[in-house]
């Protein structure tokens, strides 16, 4: 990415990457499917004990090498440079992610349009029909909305991440936050649904937890912090000196968790209030639950809805950008490609994969691989295989291969010695082991 971010620019770019549909769409959906509170607790523990630890490892690789993931590993490995550089190719996972992720942003575009035109349903059944209809039958809308997002995302990346997008973030993140608070207040006035939602999210019931749900929680913790596929390495390559990256990271994690929880409270309040089953709604959960909320509020709701979906679109776009940048940065560095050519190549792949995702859920062209739609296959491979692998490799590399001295120098200004020791221990022994055990346990 060449030059460095401004101090606040780095924080905004990483926060922009972290906060996205992972919080607004994946979090409530997975919480619903995995029985609520115990899953939330697991997610919090794994975020702090594993994801945070690995986040700092990826940040170190980026900051100390100032390169893309592949060349970063290569530069920092004292021996076996070629072999270690392979670890950087986990960044291709981000290309799989951006293909289905842009489609989900496309759905949000469609919902913004529904809100703006007053076309939302008042009952849960009706909204569920509306959502299923979009996925099963409406190729044209999905194609147009996906293509639109695709063009915007690639256009912004072509301008370089640091121009423009930073400025956008300054406005969009607070807007999203304020809208969430307003919606939370409205949810609060539905006392029954709200108290059920509170209970669902915060009173743990461990009987609902299985090996697979632990892996889901881990994958979500990685996904929502953009870990394991080179994003954090790439952004940290432009981390300005003298930024207190520990405080920044903790702030980003806090915002991320907060947005997820607020979103969850809002969504589940309306799910319970209107008597739906949180675990049945699937990927449409947020669309189905929120649209009924907006529809009930009449004209105010339509305005609120359109603004809310718009801010989600922006949150999604800043995340999507961060998935493309690592591979683009690599192609530019390694093959001396122009940014434009690199993006044409990546764009071609993403556009094809994205369209296959659309086709894979339509009722007429539906195709499944091992019982999953192509959409779910991309989600599965990236989230449950590549991201954990990328995380383990980063942990082992920074914990065992890189020189400790360089890390101490990097961390010293912002972290007390004790904290460093704890982090280093977690990095070497707890985090990689936890990831390995969780993955094996889920697959056996």
**Which residues of the shown chain bind ligand TRP in the complex (CB under 6 A)?**
17-18, 20-23, 94, 97, 223-224, 226, 229, 231, 319, 322-323
Closer residue to ligand TRP in complex, CB, 71/226: 226
Contact 18, 256 (CB under 8 A): yes
Least Cβ distance, residue 69 to ligand TRP (angstroms): 12
* Residue 373 bridge partners (DSSP): 368
- Give the SS3 label for residue 122: coil
- Residue 244 backbone phi and psi in degrees, to 5: -75, 90
Q: Which of 139, 134, 142, 127 is nearest to 305 (CA)?
A: 127
Q: Strand locations in 376-426, DSSP E? A: none
- Collect all residues with Cβ–Cβ distance below 8 Å to 18 and sequence separation of at least 6: 224, 225, 226, 252, 253, 255, 256, 319
Q: Tokens at residue 34, please?
A: 């995995």
- Collect all residues with Cβ–Cβ distance below 8 Å to 66 and sequence separation of at least 6: 237, 238
Least Cβ distance, residue 34 to ligand TRP (angstroms): 17
Closer residue to ligand TRP in complex, CB, 257/398: 257
Cα 252 off chain centre by: 13
Least Cβ distance, residue 228 to ligand TRP (angstroms): 7
Q: Which residue is nearest to ligand TRP (CB)?
A: 22
Closer residue to ligand TRP in complex, CB, 34/226: 226
Least Cβ distance, residue 51 to ligand TRP (angstroms): 11
Closer residue to ligand TRP in complex, CB, 94/438: 94
Closer residue to ligand TRP in complex, CB, 255/401: 255
Torsion angle, alpha carbons of 195, 198, 203, 208, to 10: 100
Q: Which of 120, 88, 107 is nearest to 29 (CA)?
A: 107
Least Cβ distance, residue 442 to ligand TRP (angstroms): 18
Closer residue to ligand TRP in complex, CB, 94/356: 94
Least Cβ distance, residue 133 to ligand TRP (angstroms): 25
Least Cβ distance, residue 117 to ligand TRP (angstroms): 27
Closer residue to ligand TRP in complex, CB, 89/420: 89
Q: Tokens at residue 417, please?
A: 């010695």
């Amino acid at each position: 990415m060449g030059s460095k971010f401004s101090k606040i620019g780095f924080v905004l770019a990483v926060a922009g990457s972290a906060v996205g549909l992972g919080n607004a769409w994946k979090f409530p959906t997975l919480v619903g499917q995995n029985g609520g509170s115990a899953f939330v607790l697991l997610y919090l523990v794994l975020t702090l004990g594993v994801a945070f630890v690995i986040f700092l490892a990826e940040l170190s690789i980026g900051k100390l090498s100032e390169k893309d993931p592949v060349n970063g590993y290569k530069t920092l490995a004292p021996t076996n440079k070629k072999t270690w550089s392979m670890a950087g190719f986990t960044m291709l996972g981000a290309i799989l992610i951006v293909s289905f992720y842009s489609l989900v942003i496309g759905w949000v575009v469609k919902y913004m349009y529904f809100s703006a035109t007053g076309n939302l349903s008042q009952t849960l059944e009706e909204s569920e029909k509306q959502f299923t209809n979009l996925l099963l039958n409406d190729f044209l809308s999905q194609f147009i909305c996906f293509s639109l997002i695709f063009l915007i995302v690639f256009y912004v990346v072509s301008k370089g991440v640091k121009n423009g997008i930073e400025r956008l973030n300054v406005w969009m993140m607070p807007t999203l936050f304020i809208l969430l608070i307003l919606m939370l207040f409205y949810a609060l006035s539905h006392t029954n649904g709200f108290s059920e939602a509170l209970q669902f999210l915060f009173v743990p019931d461990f009987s609902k937890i299985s090996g697979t749900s632990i892996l889901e929680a881990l994958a979500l913790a990685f996904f929502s912090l953009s870990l394991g596929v080179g994003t954090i390495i790439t952004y940290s390559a432009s981390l300005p000196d003298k930024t207190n990256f520990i405080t920044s990271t903790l702030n980003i994690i806090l915002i991320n968790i907060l947005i997820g929880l607020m979103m969850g409270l809002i969504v589940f309040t309306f799910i319970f209030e209107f008597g739906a089953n949180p675990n049945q709604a699937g990927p449409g959960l947020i669309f189905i639950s929120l649209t009924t909320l907006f529809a009930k509020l009449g004209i105010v709701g339509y305005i609120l809805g359109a603004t809310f979906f718009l801010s989600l679109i922006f949150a999604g776009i800043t995340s999507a950008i961060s998935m493309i940048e690592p591979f683009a940065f690599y192609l530019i560095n390694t093959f001396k490609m122009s940014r434009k050519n690199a993006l044409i190549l990546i764009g071609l792949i993403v556009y094809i994969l994205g369209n296959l995702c659309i086709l894979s859920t339509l009722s007429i062209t539906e195709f499944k691989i091992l019982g999953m739609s192509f959409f779910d296959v991309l989600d599965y491979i990236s989230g449950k295989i590549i991201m954990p692998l990328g995380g383990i490799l980063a942990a082992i590399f920074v914990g065992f291969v890189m020189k400790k001295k360089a890390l101490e120098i990097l961390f010293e200004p912002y972290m007390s010695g004790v904290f460093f020791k704890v982090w280093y221990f977690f990095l070497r022994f707890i985090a990689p082991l936890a990831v390995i055990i969780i993955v094996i346990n889920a697959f056996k």
